Structure 1
Amino acid sequence: MLYRSHPESNVLQLVVPEDLQEEKLKMGNDVPNAGHQGVNRTEEILQKYWWYHCRSHIKRYVNTCAICNSMKKRATPAPKYPLTLYHTSCPMERVHLDFLGPLPKTKPGNEYVLMIMDQFTKWVERFPLPSQTAEVTASTAVREFFSRFGCPL
């Protein structure tokens, strides 16, 4: 076995022969406890080993790994349809409905909260519900909100 002393930290590093370098790259990146965590983490895992151009080999190996590339955060996010602004000029012109949950179930059996908000006034009403089905949502919205404030434009 041949070791070299790391020039900065004086840690002994095992010199890896060329025919075992691929195996060490797999060990540092592919095995479950390594977890495809990128170039820097793979370099940390393999810091006990050394060969000529090992950093460039690690970078190339990780950058060409299909699993690493599939989990990599993109520098530019995937294109999405641009958000559009809706301006309202009076109350009840536009109303938004959304759910919170699932939350811990209450004694009456509710685990969701229906949130209804008027976009112009920002008035929010909240209603606990047992589910978020269309029937429960529609009946609650009509019975509890629209019966008091009227139908939105």
Structure 2
Amino acid sequence: MDAHVSKSRANEEHHNNEQVDKAAKVKVSQVNLDWQHKGEVFLARWAHDASGHQGRDATYRWARDRGVDLTMDNISQVIHNCETCAAIKQAKRVKPLWYGGRWLKYRYGEAWQIDYITLPQTRQGKRYVLTMVEATTGWLETYPVPHATARNTILGLEKQVLWRHGTPERIESDNGTYFKNGLINT
């Protein structure tokens, strides 16, 4: 406060400072300071996604085998809030997908249907999108590429399906040249 300010002006400034101080005070209970818990939940979510949306025990084992120490409570919380797992549970309650004149009786992640779609070329030079649809839920994964090739198909499957959902038992396609290739048939 300036010593050359009138008393009424000084009182007004003092009053304003008190109001600002009150507004700036935050009760500790209003701030979530549990950063360690948030970090553990983040790790549990990562492990659950990376292990292929498996159940609580399988996610726990997957994380433990990789040196990540998680609690069952955190894993359960993540699974309870997981949209992918909710879609899988709902798909299990409905009739299996009808495809190609037969009912698919696969579990989640065991069967995928893949194809390329063509889009206008992006600034990054990508013109095609590999679409990968999980057969029991309709879950869609995409992988944009500059060219529809066998190599890009393998990369897309590896990054979007294998790493996230595990190795499928069956992959169905329209048998285009990028799907019928020595790289893919091995």
Report which of the two has the higher share of helix: 2
TM-score by length of 1: 0.43
TM-score (norm 2): 0.35
